[in-house]
Amino acid sequence: MKKNILDFTKDELEEEISPKFRAKQIYQWIYQKYVDNFDNMSNLPKELRIKLKENYEIYIPKILKVEKSIDGSKKYLFELKDGHTVESVLLPMKKEERDENGDIIRHTRFTVCVSSQIGCKVGCAFCLTAKGGFIRNLTAGEIVSQVLAIKKDNDIASNRRVNIVYMGMGEPLDNLDNVAKAVKIFSDENGLSISPRRQTISTSGLAPKIKKLGEKKLGVLLAISLHAVDDKLREELMPINKAYNIESIIQAVKEFPIDLRKRVMFEYLIIKNVNDDLKSAKKLVKLLNGIKAKVNLILFNPYPGSQFDRPDIETVNRFQKYLLEKGVLCTVRESKGLDISAACGQLKEIEVKSGNTV
């Protein structure tokens, strides 16, 4: 069977192909010129192209469906080789900055929210991805090609850097080896050139894996899905807390190497009448004491059949105000793509009958 060339870091490709500099050229063709077949790699010798064609493929998943939200975000449904599907979301964020003359310049920053698994084993009570169970890990190439396909589909210039958040389907640290590989492939300067500092890995708190991720010294940013400040409630919402409680997560975060200019993000999903009170906010402040943290409040996004309710914005604002008053950096996450079910926790696998698109 042919190997997917997108699964290889440049170092690995240099081991496979000689002379080594050809790996760099292949990377440029695929990730910077968006070329998806070896025949068009015109600066490679013909024999090499033949050899490549015999042994490798450039496998980019098929786009089955694109849904555009009124807020500009787009949800992609991809079909993988084995017929399973994953979703990814393109989030354009408008930024305003002043140039040296003080004039306002507006530009759009793109963030791609990628999936790391088909389904998820963690089984959080509030998450739609969890409902379908776990199917399999994605390979590094399957993670990377979500971004490649989206950049291509939107004509995003190859030198336009995007941000990556590993916040789609799946628990990235449960697929650590492939995610770590994807981080490296994304950041290669002959490829997409997305610095690890623009890549955020979000985890439900697999404490030993946070440690392992830290040991890899990739330089990525870390986000922790905390969502509750006492173990009893957290266990109800996130069964993984029975294995790794809040204390063990906080300890792992304290040991995690992070760029001095950056902060660890704590995601706090606010669910109406569950964890939205100021007593929880107070406990949260205490918990984060001594950590360079920022809190990102997420409003629960409902889906058909969900057992929880979305909080009112006033409750969320009150929670945020309390944290800010106590000196904790805190933002409220804009729910992008709510109208197309592309918001946090709303991504899921879709059954594709062969030959039919959804």
**Which run of H or E residues covers position 104?**
strand 104-113
- Asked if 230 and 283 count as a contact pair (C-beta separation under 8 A), the reply is yes
Contact string (CB under 6 A) for ligand SAH, positions 154-183, x = contact: -------------x---x------------
Closer CB to ligand SAH, 127 or 287, in the complex: 127
Report the nearest approach of ligand SF4 to the CB of residue 165 (Å).
12
Which of 23, 298, 328, 338 is in the footprint of ligand SAH by CB under 6 A? 298
Q: Which two tokens stand for residue 228?
A: 């509750």
**Which of 60-68, 75-83, 178-186, 198-206 is the region at the interface with ligand SAH (rule: CB under 6 A)?**
198-206
When asked if residue 240 is in the footprint of ligand SAH (CB under 6 A), the reply is: no
Whether 236 is a known active-site residue: answer no
301 binds, among ligand SF4, ligand SAH, none (CB under 5 to 8 A by kind): ligand SAH
**Phi, psi (degrees; rounded to nearest 5) at 117:** -145, 160
Marked catalytic residue, from 87, 171, 267, 349: 87
111 binds, among ligand SAH, ligand SF4, none (CB under 5 to 8 A by kind): none
Marked catalytic residue, from 120, 124, 127, 344: 344
When asked if residue 249 is in the footprint of ligand SF4 (CB under 6 A), the reply is: no
- For residue 325, what are the contacts with CB-CB under 8 A and spacing of at least 6? none
Rounded CA gap, 184 and 141, in Å? 11
Largest CA-CA distance found in the chain, in angstroms, rounded:
69
Report the nearest approach of ligand SF4 to the CB of residue 337 (Å).
16
Q: What single letter denotes the amino acid at residue 251? A: Q
Rounded CA gap, 188 and 193, in Å? 5
Which of 44, 80, 127, 250 is in the footprint of ligand SF4 by CB under 6 A? 127
When asked if residue 79 is in the footprint of ligand SAH (CB under 6 A), the reply is: no
Three-state DSSP at 141 gives: helix
Whether 344 is a known active-site residue: answer yes
When asked if residue 120 is in the footprint of ligand SF4 (CB under 6 A), the reply is: yes
Looking only at residues 171 through 200 of this chain, which bind ligand SF4 when binding is defined by CB under 6 A? 171
Rounded CA gap, 257 and 260, in Å? 9
Closer CB to ligand SAH, 160 or 310, in the complex: 310
Q: Which of 34, 85, 82 is nearest to 63 (CA)?
A: 85
Q: Please report which residue ranges of the chain form alpha helices under DSSP H.
A: 10-16, 21-27, 46-55, 128-131, 140-153, 176-187, 207-215, 231-237, 246-255, 278-287, 313-325
Chain contacts with ligand SAH (rule: CB under 6 A)? 126-127, 167, 171, 202-204, 225, 267, 269, 298, 300-301, 344-345
| Residues acting as catalytic residues | 87, 344
